[in-house]
Chain A
């Protein structure tokens, strides 16, 4: 399956500056693994040491969080968008 992975600004520096990358994979987890293989520097931003996704990054397939689906085993199909949604804290006075 070929899906487009959308990369937020905060992580683009670890993905060669790309905002959107076409990747192959049958599940959300495989798509993320393909990203980490292509851009090893992004790995520690995505995964805990035990291989689980970090709790401050949400992964969406379309408009649904994979936490509400099958986690990293969530199936993806051709043309799906996989979106990384990290927590960001900016906006206040001390910006």
Chain B
């Protein structure tokens, strides 16, 4: 059964026939396929690295209605890859900037902005009016939220994800194959895997993966019934080694949302599920703001400062008097620390350093340890403006 029913199709104008001529010439798309694209409603979640090429190519392809959901504002550091936004858009809501760009490219596309965070409270209402969802988010709680809502609403979820030089793409469509939870039942605990804000990403990579997603969206709509789509297949892509691999995805009969006996039938608290609401427990380490660390250093106190960043990051911004110890070496080199002295761990934004501290405690370390809040970026912001923030 076609995703877009025949009753929804209407004729193309002469202008549309001219605009979409190269699609109409493909027998796989043709007039009927283009009418389906015109009737289709696609929701793009996130207008960042993946959402940018998704929105542009789907608009160019003549999707009738595009929803864009994002609560964020354009920043300078987005422009290395989020090509739907321009320098003049810095500070604007991303959905507004995306809407302008889409309308400039194709005024025939109706754009709906959702300038809000997608949550358990609004996701079902937003998603239910669309035929296909394209997931271009960058965090686990939204990915599980989008997955579960799509399973419950029987919508295909066109998935893409990137990290550093590596991308993944698939189509999760529980009606015909596995869902995201069949592959990954639960997310990594916070801090175990660095985010892209810390780990970096090659700007071209989300472009490639987002365009793969756009292609899958179009194929689902023109109605080959998902046959040649990425349903049941996971594409993994290593940009640096320039290798694509295709892996089989099976539906998990025990999947809690799409399995034989689902245990989750409504949206849940995804922050809790992703471990982002830890129980209030006594932390084994303290936290210092940049101002507090500065005051202690100024008082002449002897403190060990450990920079857990990688060498290429230290080349961007060096922390004065810090001893470099990349996070992967903490356990092996813990003997180099003096437990008699207070120790402050620093990273880029103060999150990876918590993971490093936990790794240190696992070795049985007994000294007093602090985390520098907001990392070296915080230090550059509050104390030393001569350092760049990255």
Q: Is the CB of A68 within 8 A of B250?
A: yes
B interface residues, tally (CB under 8 Å)? 65
**Chain A positions 41-86 with a Cβ under 8 Å from a chain B Cβ:** 41, 44-45, 54-56, 58, 60, 63-65, 67-68, 83, 85-86
A interface residues, tally (CB under 8 Å)? 32
Q: Would you give 11 A-B contacts (Cβ < 8 Å), ordered by A? A: A9-B166, A41-B329, A65-B247, A67-B250, A68-B248, A87-B140, A88-B193, A90-B138, A92-B137, A93-B78, A94-B139
Q: Is the CB of A63 within 8 A of B248?
A: yes
Q: Is the CB of A90 within 8 A of B234?
A: no
Min CB gap B44→A, angstroms = 11
**Chain B positions 10-65 with a Cβ under 8 Å from a chain A Cβ:** 46-51
- Knowing A87-B184, A92-B138, A93-B138, the reply to whether A41 touches B246 (Cβ < 8 A) is no
- Knowing A90-B195, A91-B46, the reply to whether A40 touches B331 (Cβ < 8 A) is yes
> With an 8 A cutoff between CB atoms, is A19 at the interface?
yes
Min CB gap B70→A, angstroms = 5
Q: Is the CB of B188 within 8 A of A56?
A: yes
Q: Is the CB of A89 within 8 A of B49?
A: no
Which chain A residues border B188 with CB–CB below 8 Å? 54, 56, 86-87
- Knowing A55-B185, A56-B186, the reply to whether A93 touches B248 (Cβ < 8 A) is no
A64's partner among B199, B248, B310 (CB-CB below 8 A) is: B248
Give Cα distance in the complex from A72 to B272, angstroms.
30
> With an 8 A cutoff between CB atoms, is B328 at the interface?
yes
Give Cα distance in the complex from A88 to B250, angstroms.
19
Find the B residue at minimum CB distance from A41.
Answer: B328
Min CB gap A36→B, angstroms = 13
> With an 8 A cutoff between CB atoms, is B351 at the interface?
no
Q: Is the CB of A90 within 8 A of B250?
A: no
Give Cα distance in the complex from A39 to B78, angstroms.
35
> With an 8 A cutoff between CB atoms, is B165 at the interface?
yes
> With an 8 A cutoff between CB atoms, is B82 at the interface?
yes
> With an 8 A cutoff between CB atoms, is B245 at the interface?
yes
A87's partner among B187, B326, B329 (CB-CB below 8 A) is: B187
Which chain A residues border B143 with CB–CB below 8 Å? 89
Give Cα distance in the complex from A49 to B142, angstroms.
27
- Knowing A10-B193, A56-B186, the reply to whether A63 touches B247 (Cβ < 8 A) is yes
Give Cα distance in the complex from A60 to B247, angstroms.
8
Q: Is the CB of A95 within 8 A of B137?
A: no
Q: Is the CB of B139 within 8 A of A92?
A: yes
Q: Is the CB of A89 within 8 A of B48?
A: no
How does the 8 Å CB contact mask read for B232-253 relative to A, with 1 for contact and 0 for none?
0010101011000111111010
